[in-house]
A and B are shown apart, each in its own frame.
Chain A
Amino acid sequence: MNNGFRLFAVAAGLFLLTACGTTGESKEGMAEGQAGASGSATDQGSAQASGVQPGGGATLHPLDDPANILSNQVIYFDFDSSTVKPESMQLITAHAAYLAENPGLRVRLEGHADERGSREYNLGLGERRSQAVERLLVLNGAGGNQLETISFGEERPVALGHDENAWWQNRRVEIVYPAR
C-alpha cells in the first residue's frame, strides 16, 4: 500500500512538472488530493528523524549525519532540463517531511546551471529548477512560506572543468538550511 502511494506521488509529481502551463488552481487541487498519500509515505521518514537526538558530541544533527538521507541536500538535473528525476524523489520527500515537522524552519532553494550556452538564459534555467523543487516540496508537505527560490545561473559552479564530468555536478538545486 505504501509503495503504491509512493509511486503515485512520484507519478503525480512528474505529471505536474512536465505539463506546461498548469494553472495554479489545478495544482492546489492535486496537492490536496495528495496530502493523505504523502502523509503515510513521509511518516516513515519522520519516524527515522525523530530517533536522532541533536546536541552532545556523539550524535550528529540529522542534516549533517551522513547516515541520514537529510544530509544530502543537492538535487541534480539532466542537461537543459528542469524535471526532477525519479531517483531524486526519495530525497525530496525526506526534506519535505523534515520541513513539515519543523514549520519554523526556512530554507533557500538555490538553482544552478552548467556553463554551456548564454549566461542570462542559464539564470532562467536555474530558477526554473529551483521552482520545480519548490513545487514538489510543497506537494509533499512543506509549507510554501518555508521556501525561498533563487537562481545563480552558471555563476557559482562547484566543478570548474569543461566537460560532462564537471557539468553534471553544476546542474543542481541546493537545499540550503540555516546555520546550526
Chain B
Amino acid sequence: MSSRYPTRWLLLAVLLFTRDAAAILTIEITQGAEGALPIAIVPFGWSGATALPPEDVAEVVTNDLARSGRFKPLPEQDLLARPHQGSEVRFRDWRILGMESLVVGQVHDRGGGNLEVQFQLFDVFRGEQLIGYSIPTTADGLRRTAHQVSDLIYEALTGERGAFTTRVAYVVASRAGGRESFQLQLADADGFGARAVLNSNRPIMSPAWSADGNRLAYVSFEEGRPEIYLQDTLSGQRRRLLPAGSSSSAPAWSPDGTRLALTSSRDGNPEIYVYDLTTSRLERLTQNPAIDTEPAWSPDSRTLVFTSDRGGGPQIYRMPATGGEPQRVTFEGRYNARASFSPDGKRLTLVHGGNNRYSIGVLEIDSGILQLLTDGALDESPSFAPNGSMIIYATAGHDRGVLAAVSVDGRVRQRLLLQEGDVRDPAWSPYRK
C-alpha cells in the first residue's frame, strides 16, 4: 500500500459567490397530509412594459404553501376565472371548485426599478376578505416579496408564523474524475438561488447559523485536521476560531448571540467548551473520558444539550450553559445523538438508532416521550425550521445523499432533490433580524 502522506498541500479553499453554483434544489412531496386546505392562487396581474414580470409571484406562493403540507393549491389549468382584485371576484366560481381560500393580486411597475405587489386573501365560503397588503419592492427583491406573501397567507390561515423567507445551508460532496470536492452552499428554503460560499477539496461539516443569520460556523479539514471556521455570509470574510491543533468541531451559536458552544479534543478527548465571542475566552464544561460532542443551546441560551457516551453508548445529556453536572435526558434505545431544541424549547429533535436503523425522532422534554418521525435507515442531522413546524434532515437517496423535510407531527414528508452531488448536513437559518 503506497503512502498517502502529503508532501505539499493540494488543497485550495476558495470563496465563491457564483449564482446558481449548483443545480437547483427541486421539491418533491412524497407524502401529503389529509385535511390540507384547498386554496386557489390566481396568477398575478402585471402592469409593466415587459411581457412577463421578473418573477411569477403566484407560482412561488403556490409552491411555498404546497411545500408546507398544510395546503392543497388548485392546479393552474383548473382555474375557471382569473381575477386580479376583489372587485373582479365571483365567489360562486370558487365554491364550485371546492376552494376554501382564494388569493388574487397584481404586480405594478412604479418606474425607476421600483415595483409594488398588491394581494388579497379571501374566505370563499363567507365571501369576505381576510387580509390585503401592498408591498413596495424591486425587481431583485421580487422573489423575496413573494415569499413574504406566502408568510402572510400562511399566518392568516394557520395562526402560525411562516418560514418561507428563510434559508438553508448544507454541504455538497462530489466526485468528478476520481477527485473529491466539497462545497458549502446556501439556498432559499425553497431551494432557489443556491450558491456556494466555500469550495474545498477537503471535507466540510456541520454548518451552523449565527442567531442574526449573518454568519456561519462550520468545520473544515483544509489544514489537515477538523477545525471550526467562522464566515460572514455577506462579505465572505472568514477566520479559524481556535489555534491550529485544537481539533475543534460541532459549533453551535447561542441564541443570544454572545457565545459559541463547541467540541474540542485539545485536552486529549472530545469535550464540550463554550467560547465567549466578546472576550475570546474558552471555557471547558465537561470533564470525562467519554466522547462529549454536538452541543446545542436552549432558546433562552441557558441550557445545553449534548451527546455523550459516558453511559456506554451515545445518549443525550443536559447541563447549564455555565457548566454543571450533566443529567441524562434520553432513556429509550441504545443510540441517541445530535439533539437540538425546537424554537419553543419544549422539544428536541435527534437521531435515534435501533435495530441497525437510524431515524429522526422528536422528544417531548417534559414527558420524556420519544416519537419517531421517519423510518429511514440512514437519517441524520435534523434541524428545526425557525417556526418549529418542520424538520429538515439528511437521508439516503438511491445512490447519493439528499435532504428531506418532515412536519413536526410526522404526517407530511418531502424530498429536496439536488441534481448532482451528495447532499448532507442541512442547517435551517433563523429568521432574519
Give the interface of A toward B (CB within 8 A). 20-21, 63-64, 71-74, 80, 107-108, 115-121, 123-125, 127-128, 131, 150-153, 155-156, 162, 174, 176-180
Contacts and interface: CB of A to CB of B under 8 A. Distances in A.
Given A117-B335, A121-B294, A152-B221, A127 B270 contact: yes
Interface in B282-299: 289, 291, 293-294
B7 interface: yes
A47 B18 CA distance: 59
A128 B309 CA distance: 12
Contacts of B5: 107-108, 176-179
B425 interface: yes
Nearest to B351: A118
A162 B313 CA distance: 22
A80 B313 contact: yes
A152 B205 CA distance: 11
B289 A123 contact: no
Contacts of A179: 3, 5, 7
A162 B380 contact: no
B353 interface: yes
A125 B291 contact: yes
Closest 3 CB pairs of A and B: A124-B291, A155-B203, A118-B337
B4 A151 contact: no
B269 interface: yes
Interface string B331-344: 00001011000000
B268 to A, nearest CB: 8
A178 B3 CA distance: 6
13 contacts: A71-B1, A117-B353, A119-B381, A120-B205, A120-B338, A121-B337, A123-B205, A150-B247, A151-B226, A155-B203, A162-B378, A176-B4, A179-B7
Interface residues of B, number: 42
B289 A20 contact: yes
Contact of B358 (A80, A116, A123): A116
For B226, B247, B249, B381, which residue has the most chain A Cβ atoms within 10 angstroms? B226
A120 B247 contact: no
Nearest to B225: A150
For A64, A125, A128, A180, which residue has the most chain B Cβ atoms within 10 angstroms? A128
Contacts of A119: 205-206, 380-381, 424-425
Interface string B203-225: 10110000000000000010011
For B3, B221, B313, B424, which residue has the most chain A Cβ atoms within 10 angstroms? B3
A176 B294 contact: no
Given A123-B270, A150-B224, A179-B7, A116 B353 contact: yes
For A80, A121, A150, A180, which residue has the most chain B Cβ atoms within 10 angstroms? A121
A120 B7 contact: no
A107 B4 CA distance: 11
B2 A64 contact: yes
For A107, A120, A121, A131, which residue has the most chain B Cβ atoms within 10 angstroms? A120
B226 A123 contact: yes
Given A118-B338, A118-B351, 14 more contacts: A20-B289, A119-B205, A120-B250, A120-B293, A120-B307, A121-B294, A121-B337, A124-B265, A127-B247, A127-B265, A151-B247, A152-B226, A155-B221, A156-B203
